[in-house]
């Protein structure tokens, strides 16, 4: 059989290593990540998913540049569990915890049990997943759907049928509705499927109907997405060749993980040539796992290539390719170690887990948790504000809908039970935000909330640094210093 067979290959050590690595991932995700504030992007989730009429929720989702499924999930979730930091983090934690178990539950994948256990273990401690596990953003959900899509793709390549194609297409569509960049991995997998099975694949065409909702929404949302892609609005810079080392380093999760990869390769080769270690003959895994990895590599390459020509790339957008790339690490380890695959993969998984644990333990994160206005909002809540003048000093500010800025600026106040009106400030080119903010905060019980990042082009704070207290000494301001900053101001005579 061209795809090979799955068979047990000494479960004891691989199973023990998986359980240890999985326990380490739970420790990191549940304990070390606890108590983190909601950073800027997560505040947008709080605002969009907040209690509101369904028509207003639909408008919020449309005005945002992201796909809708995660927001829908969080809107339903908060209606039951509320919007505390813990409640907002919980869904991502659940998806991160369940993803490795989904790999173990997969059947007919063309992998040995040791390889499945290693794939699951590495998925549990891939550094981005450790960070996404308590982040109120879509990436843990995206990684979950993308993993299910990779599993379904393996099964489909090994034995094509309309039922299996429908499962693959369903998870592919869900991934696209979670993040639009999942479109690339789905398209490439579909082309590989057609190229390998040809007439058999064509006969499963009804399964493609599962993509209709995803493409229908994408077509409807495309005009709004195009606004964010304008060169004067897009906040990313195009990639150049100097960025490639950082991107390649980000694929395994960081610099330490890259050293683990190198050490793992050396170890695997060394084990191949040690004569006294026991050898175990495992079946050839077949081409389906390799093609799954190839699809992920090609999808990642396409996303990076597009980033050279359009300001549209961030390393987290490679999340849909993560499952295939992690599977590729297992396959390469097997290729290098030969008949001593199990031992090599066990040592490699442990080292990879410890590298991710080290990153989190020293306070390194994928998301800039310090860039948050949750704590600034809590400071302002002490003066019992009724009116918030909110400025998100960012190049996309001119195309943001006022109601979306209203939801974002008032997210934490309203979550904490304060009834505030929000005055979203949209600056004109060359306008001084200090004067504009003071002009909008003349009424009683008014406060100012100004969020900016001077490393992003078009930020007004670069030309006009905060000087509200200099212009009007009646005001007191708290200002977090650095490139990313939040300015929270209130009148002295209204403070208690």
Domain definitions of the chain by residue range? 12-361, 374-494
What does the pLDDT read at residue 284? 46
Distances (CA, A) of 139 to 42, 244, 315: 12, 22, 12
What does the pLDDT read at residue 365? 65
Give me the phi and psi of 458, to 5 degrees please: 80, 10
What does the pLDDT read at residue 6? 39
What does the pLDDT read at residue 341? 64
What does the pLDDT read at residue 455? 85
In sequence order, the β-bridge partners of residue 476 are 490
What does the pLDDT read at residue 321? 96
Cα atoms in the 13 Å half-sphere on the side-chain side of 220: 15
In sequence order, the β-bridge partners of residue 487 are 450, 479
Q: Which of 188, 190, 185, 187 is nearest to 204 (CA)?
A: 190
**CA–CA dist 160, 169 (Å, integer):** 13
Are 2 and 106 a contacting pair, CB within 8 Å?
A: no
What does the pLDDT read at residue 2? 33
What does the pLDDT read at residue 359? 67
What does the pLDDT read at residue 261? 67
For Cα atoms 452, 453, 454, give the angle at the middle one, nearest 5 degrees: 115
Angle between helices 212-228 and 54-63 (to 10 degrees): 60
Question: Which stretches in the chain have pLDDT values below 50?
Answer: 1-9, 276, 282-284
The pTM score is: 0.91
What does the pLDDT read at residue 10? 53
**CA–CA dist 125, 381 (Å, integer):** 38
Are 143 and 317 a contacting pair, CB within 8 Å?
A: no
What does the pLDDT read at residue 432? 95
What does the pLDDT read at residue 233? 79
Q: Which of 264, 246, 242 is nearest to 255 (CA)?
A: 246
């Amino acid at each position: 059989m061209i795809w090979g067979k799955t068979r047990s290959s000494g479960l004891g050590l691989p199973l023990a290593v998986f359980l240890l690595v999985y326990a380490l991932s739970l420790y990191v995700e549940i304990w070390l990540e606890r108590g983190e504030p909601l950073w800027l992007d997560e505040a947008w989730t709080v605002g969009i998913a907040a209690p509101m009429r369904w028509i207003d929720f639909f408008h919020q989702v449309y005005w945002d540049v992201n796909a809708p499924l995660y927001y829908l999930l969080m809107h339903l979730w908060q209606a039951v569990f509320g919007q505390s930091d813990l409640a907002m983090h919980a869904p991502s934690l659940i998806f991160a915890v369940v993803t490795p178990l989904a790999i173990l539950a997969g059947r007919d994948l063309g992998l040995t049990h040791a390889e499945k256990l290693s794939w699951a273990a590495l998925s549990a401690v891939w550094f981005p997943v450790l960070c996404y596990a308590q982040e109120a953003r879509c990436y843990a959900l995206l990684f979950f759907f993308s993993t299910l899509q990779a599993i379904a793709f393996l099964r489909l390549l090994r034995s094509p049928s309309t039922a299996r194609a429908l499962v693959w297409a369903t998870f592919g569509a869900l991934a696209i509705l979670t993040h639009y960049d999942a479109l690339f991995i789905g398209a490439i997998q579909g082309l590989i499927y057609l190229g390998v099975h040809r007439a058999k694949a064509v006969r499963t065409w009804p399964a493609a109907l599962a993509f209709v909702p995803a493409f229908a929404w994408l077509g409807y949302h495309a005009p709004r997405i195009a606004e964010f892609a304008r060169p004067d609005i897009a906040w990313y810079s195009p990639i150049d060749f100097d960025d490639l080392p950082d991107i390649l380093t980000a694929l395994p999760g960081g610099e330490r993980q890259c050293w683990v990869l190198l050490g793992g390769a050396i170890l695997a080769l060394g084990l191949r040539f040690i004569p006294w270690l026991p050898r175990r003959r495992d079946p050839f895994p077949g081409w389906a796992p390799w093609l799954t990895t190839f699809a992920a590599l090609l999808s990642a390459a396409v996303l990076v290539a597009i980033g050279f020509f359009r300001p549209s790339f961030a390393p987290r957008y490679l999340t849909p390719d993560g499952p295939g790339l992690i599977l590729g690490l297992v396959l390469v380890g097997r290729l290098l170690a030969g008949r001593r695959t199990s031992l090599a993969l066990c040592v490699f998984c442990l080292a990879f887990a410890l590298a991710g644990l080290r990153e989190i333990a020293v306070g390194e994160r994928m998301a800039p948790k310090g860039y948050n206005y949750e704590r600034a909002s809590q400071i302002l809540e002490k003066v019992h504000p009724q009116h918030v003048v909110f400025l998100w000093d960012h190049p996309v500010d001119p195309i943001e809908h006022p109601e979306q800025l209203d939801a974002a600026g008032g997210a934490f106040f309203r979550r904490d039970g304060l009834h505030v009106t929000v005055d979203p400030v949209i600056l004109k080119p060359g306008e001084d935000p200090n004067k504009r903010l003071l002009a909008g905060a003349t009424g009683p019980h008014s406060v100012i909330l100004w969020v900016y990042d001077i490393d992003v082009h078009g930020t007004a704070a670069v030309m006009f640094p905060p000087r509200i207290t200099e212009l009007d000494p009646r005001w007191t301001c708290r200002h977090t210093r650095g490139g990313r900053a939040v300015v929270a101001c209130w009148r002295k005579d209204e403070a208690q």
